[in-house]
Amino acid sequence: MRSLSLSYREPIVMVKGHMQYMEDHQGIRYLDGVNNVAHVGHCHPDVVAAGQKQMALLATNTRYLSAEHVQYSKDLLSTFPPPLSVCVFTCSGSEANELALRMARAFTKKPEVIVVDW
């Protein structure tokens, strides 16, 4: 098996995580500062409980409107200055990137983009 990542030579087979740590198949524990849940941790009890509660009711995403989306939008926007008055939710990082490109093109009225990759 080959890894596409440049952060290690051999892929690490992770089997579980808790809060800021991940554990591999050999029982070695790693401090996770780069994964996609670093802001709340792996298996945070509050996040797990909220997810279980929602999935017991309806398993969906931001494609459909819900009272929770509306309330979260209002709560979030109340922390921003008045010119920032719209929330757009996406279902994935690639969808968020696509939206950012579309918004930049609409704002600048130019189709070109510069990509910096390092």
Q: What is the 3-state secondary structure (H, E, C) of 79-104?
A: CCCCCCCCCCCCCCHHHHHHHHHHHH
- Report the alpha-carbon distance of residue 51 to residue 22 in Å, rounded: 20
* Domains held by the chain: number: 2
Would you give per-residue pLDDT tens digits along the chain (118 residues)? 565 556 677 888 999 999 999 999 999 999 988 766 667 889 999 999 998 998 899 877 778 888 888 999 999 999 999 899 999 988 888 999 999 999 999 999 999 988 887 7
Can you give the pTM of this predicted structure? 0.58
Q: Where are the alpha helices (DSSP H) in 4-88?
A: 45-57, 67-77
- Report the alpha-carbon distance of residue 96 to residue 51 in Å, rounded: 22
And the tokens for 107?
A: 């704002």
Q: Report yes or no on 118 lying in a domain.
A: no
SS3 of residue 32 by DSSP: coil
Q: Report yes or no on 87 lying in a domain.
A: yes
Range of the domain at 36: 1-47
Q: Report yes or no on 69 lying in a domain.
A: yes
Q: Report yes or no on 53 lying in a domain.
A: no
